[in-house]
């Protein structure tokens, strides 16, 4: 999955104020733009919001290029930034929502129509199932199966212990299998 290996971005460890940081960011976007966008989308499940989160995440990356010292792989670093940015957006959206209009209410047909249109855009049925999982299971499956991160890397991105990663991954897989089986039986 990581076509541009960590070694390619080894020089990130030595970025200074005088380095052409825009060129580095361009390289990062070309190599990891899709990874960042897909992860943002996996968390927020909305294409427009995924665009905004991706933009903000790369702006943060640009501002903090000189701070990367290789404690994590470039991809893990970018995914962590993306995740923090995405959850920040969602929290702010939540506060705005509770303070302005109270708890979420079903919007009936318009939401169904929107969901239906969205469903047609998914790459496969399995993606549809994974995206519909609760966030904690959705994220762990995607980090494992799509991004193929190690247990240690997943623990770092999600800020949980490696033990929790293993147990959560197990339960996430069980959930998807259960859904698959019930679909096959029906």
Partner 1 sequence: MKTPDPDDMQEDLESGPLKQTGFTSKLQREIEQAIDRKERAKPRIKPYLVIAGIGAVTAIMLLYPWNAIHTRSEALTAMEAPIPIEAQSASFVAPAAINTALLIGLRTDHESTDSSRAVNPIRFSTYRTMLIAPVRGKLQKTSEGDGILMPYKQNFWKIDSLVARTKTDEIHYLSAHLADQPVKAETFADDPNEKLNHVETLRFVGNQYLSIDESEEAWVGSTPYQAERTWVRTLPQLKEGHTMHLYNKPADKNHVSLTDLYDSSINGVLSNMRLSLRSASAAPAAASAASTPAADQVGELAGESWAIERAPGRWVGKVAVTSGADAGTPERYDLRDLPRDLPDKVVNHDELCCSWGDIKANWPNASDALTSPMNDMIVIFEGGKLKFYSYGQAPNSAPELTLDLQQGEQLVMAQWATDHYVQEWIDKVDRYLPGNANHD
Q: Which of residues 127-146 bind partner 1 (CB under 8 A)?
A: 127, 130-131, 134-136, 141-142, 144-146
Q: How many residues bind partner 1 (CB under 8 A)?
A: 84
Q: Of 2-21, which residues contact partner 1 (CB under 8 A)? A: none
Minimum distance from residue 117 beta carbon to partner 1 (Å): 11
Residue 68 phi, psi (nearest 5): -75, 120
Torsion, Cα of 149, 153, 156, 160 (10° steps): 70
Q: What are phi and psi of 46, to 5 degrees?
A: -145, 130
Tell me how far apart the alpha carbons of residues 134 and 108 are, in angstroms, rounded to a whole number. 21
Span 62-81, contacts to partner 1 by CB under 8 A:
62, 64, 67, 80-81
Q: What three-state secondary structure class fits 125?
A: helix
Binds partner 1 by CB under 8 A, chosen from 114, 161, 163, 167: 114
Residue 94 interacting with partner 1 (CB under 8 A):
yes
CB of 11 to partner 1, least distance (A): 20
Give the residue, chosen from 12, 15, 24, 44, that forms a contact with partner 1 under the rule CB under 8 A: 44
Q: Considering the rule CB under 8 A, would residue 33 count as an interface residue with partner 1?
A: yes
The distance of closest approach from Cβ of residue 115 to partner 1 in the complex, given in angstroms and rounded to an integer, is 8
Within 10 angstroms of residue 185's Cβ, the number of other Cβ atoms is 6
Q: From the list 11, 13, 14, 34, which residue makes contact with partner 1 (rule: CB under 8 A)?
A: 34
Picking from 119, 181, 170, 113, the residue whose alpha carbon sits closest to that of residue 144 is 170
CA distance 186 to 184: 5
97: number of Cβ within 10 Å:
12
Cβ at position 92, least distance to partner 1 in Å: 4
């Amino acid at each position: 999955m990581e076509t541009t290996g960590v070694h390619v971005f080894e020089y990130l460890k030595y970025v200074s104020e005088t380095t052409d940081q825009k060129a580095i960011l361009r390289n990062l976007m070309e190599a990891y733009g899709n990874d960042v966008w897909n992860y943002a989308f996996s968390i927020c499940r909305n294409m427009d919001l995924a665009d905004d989160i991706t933009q903000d995440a790369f702006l943060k990356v640009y501002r903090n290029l000189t701070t990367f010292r290789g404690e994590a792989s470039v991809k893990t670093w970018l995914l962590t930034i993306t995740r923090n940015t995405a959850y920040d957006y969602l929290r702010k959206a939540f506060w705005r929502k509770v303070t302005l209009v109270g708890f979420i209410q079903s919007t009936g047909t318009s939401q169904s129509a929107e969901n239906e249109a969205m469903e047609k855009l998914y790459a496969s049925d399995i993606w549809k199932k994974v995206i519909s999982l609760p966030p904690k299971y959705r994220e762990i499956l995607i980090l494992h199966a799509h991004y193929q991160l190690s247990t240690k890397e997943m623990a770092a991105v999600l800020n949980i212990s490696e033990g929790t990663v293993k147990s959560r991954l197990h339960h996430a897989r069980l959930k998807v299998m259960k859904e698959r089986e019930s679909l096959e039986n029906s």
